[in-house]
Chains A and B, each alone.
Chain A
Amino acid sequence: MPPESRQSVEQEMNESLCHCADCGEKESVSSHYNYTNSDEEPVCDTCSDNYTECYNCEMTIHIDDAEYGHGDSYCSDCFNENFTHCDSCGDTIHVDDSNWSESNEGYVCESCYEEENYSTPNWEVMSKEYVETRTSFVNPKWDKYEKDTFNLIESKRSIGVEIETNFNDDYSFSEIADDLRISVGATRDADVEDWYELGKLRMTSDTSTTNHRHQYGGEVVMNPRRGDILVQDVDSICKTLQDNWGAYASVKTGLHLHVDVQDYDWLHASVLTFFTKMMEPHIYTWLPKSRYYGSGHQRWARPVSQSVNDFYYISDRDSFVEFYYDNGGYTDEKYNDKRYHGLNWHCHFQSNQGVELRYHSGTLQTDKIKHWTIFWTKVIDKCYDIAQELAYDGSPSQFGSTTLYNSLVVPPRIVSKCGRILEKYSDIYVGFDGLQDRHIGKSSDKSIQKRF
């Protein structure tokens, strides 16, 4: 073969050989490469180990560029489209399995979500003595007044008051709060420069207090205090709000009491909830009807939602929490829907702010707040005593076994007897709902007439 021809054949053979795009290795045409790299160029078998395929779009990707989710490899675009990272534990999660977390302000995995949202609250119970003597809140020693007295408010529990109010103008809340602090501080045995610090309150915005008629509103949140100083400070605050800021109460506002119940265990909480349910209709008649019906398409002081039967199974702290959260369970966030009940335990469980009484309408009248506080502190103290009595011979195994509960419910033997009577006389009774198939007409059975 002439040299020209041989050169031509070699060139032809060279051109027909496959070159690995990554390592440059040459391969014969007969065994050409089966793999390509991410640029779709052929690569040898050895180099092909550096590549994988996106599980979603099937595109070839270098293993160094691959993202992994649920054991499969993905290209960046597909991974970002389908996966995210748990903002709490950092695990990779499919977007379909992610949950929005209020506390993390991001998406979290199922397990973190459940841990965060369906955990039971940290319900710590202290002694009654501790509750009645604790100095964590406003007290004579640090707040410069002679002593706590209990002539008006006999209870020694600390009470925080939240006063929702409206204003005629768009005043600065910080200016109002400063004025209120000074008005309270001025009643203390302290120098003028200390008045501001002794106010012990804050002012917060609250959109629930406003609408088109009442455009400006907010809430005064008083630090807890006990006894008569509460009434004295409420008086200073209400007068200052009205005299200096033209504040007024409207249908949009409410008055909330937070009572320290850290000595309450499950039995005490059950007793208080039980009695509240039994007297609740009367409580609504002492308040404007908007507190029962609600305003602005929202009920801010809903009745106790649990039936008497539901109390039966309460047997410990966890079961009380389960009983109380009949809306899907406890969540460690402020805005659980249970907070809108007249008797609100959520703030006690979620943020240790005591039990909240939300029934009362907004008011700036000291007398109303005084009587409301007297009433509820009396109820809460008595319910504690009743629970203590019920547990005198040892804590009952469950609320359903207490004399208190059993005195109210009909014994099972009577209920079953009713069933038997209904069955026996099913052809002669008239349903209260007037259904046709229950119609008896006028029975001529004289024995029935005598029997009933």
Chain B
Amino acid sequence: MLRRYIGLEKKDSPYQLQPMVDYIRQRHNQAVMSVDNIFDVFDIPTETRDYFMNRKRQLQNAMLPDTARQFYDDVFRNITSVIEYNDKTMMFEYKDIFQQSFPLVTNFGMPTHYRDVNYDMISQYA
């Protein structure tokens, strides 16, 4: 039930229960809007969108890969969900989750700080 509620795909092994429960209890405190949704909701002009995306790339490229990775890990610390605001319904919708936040029971022993998150997903999510 929890897996389906969260929207996780079925795997060979069950997911660990505690991370799923923690996620459900706290997901509203661990959500971030997708970049595309931010730009759409606030009607940001194309030139300004491009400016910010270029700026982000410039800054990312200016950092050493490990530094950039650490920076993104810190900025998105605790983030587990991507949400989008629907202007018509005036509601937020959960659109995606960080699958890596949900280890299987066979993953026991995995370091808790492990976050193999593809941050591009957050910005390129459509």
B2 with A418: CB separation less than 8 A: yes
CB of A328 within 8 A of chain B?
no
**Per-residue CB proximity of B14-49 to A under 8 Å, as 1/0?**
111111111011011101110100100111110110
B: number of interface residues (CB 8 Å): 60
For window 50-107 of chain B, which residues contact chain A by CB distance below 8 Å?
51-52, 55-56, 59-60, 63, 67, 71-72, 74-76, 79, 83, 85, 89-93, 103, 105-106
B118 within 8 A of A: no
B1-18 at interface with A (beta carbon < 8 Å): 1-3, 5, 13-18
The A interface, classified by DSSP as helix, strand, loop or mixed, is: helix
Docked Cα-Cα span, A288 to B55, in Å, equals 10
Nearest-CB residue, chain B, relative to A415:
B25
C-alpha spacing A449/B67, complex, angstroms: 40
Q: Are A442 and B105 in contact, CB atoms less than 8 angstroms apart?
A: yes
In the bound complex, CA of A286 to CA of B45 (Å): 16
Cβ 8 A contact of A278, one of B17, B60, B83: B83
On whether the beta carbons of B112 and A434 are closer than 8 Å, the reply is yes
* 0 or 1 for each of A298-310: is its CB under 8 Å from B? (1 = yes): 0000000001110
**What are the residues of chain B within 8 A of A409 when measuring CB–CB?**
28
* Residue interface bits A414-452, CB-to-B below 8 A is 1, else 0: 110010011001001111111000111011000011011
Do residues B27 and A278 form an inter-chain contact, with CB atoms below 8 A? no
Q: Is the CB of A439 within 8 A of B24?
A: no
Q: Determine if B14 and A289 form an interchain contact, defined as CB atoms under 8 angstroms apart.
A: no
Given A367-B51, A410-B28; A421-B90 close (CB under 8 Å): no
What is the CA–CA distance of A286 and B49 in the complex, to the nearest angstrom? 11
**Residue positions of B touching A, CB distance < 8 A:** 1-3, 5, 13-22, 24-25, 27-29, 31-33, 35, 38, 41-45, 47-48, 51-52, 55-56, 59-60, 63, 67, 71-72, 74-76, 79, 83, 85, 89-93, 103, 105-106, 108-109, 112, 122-123
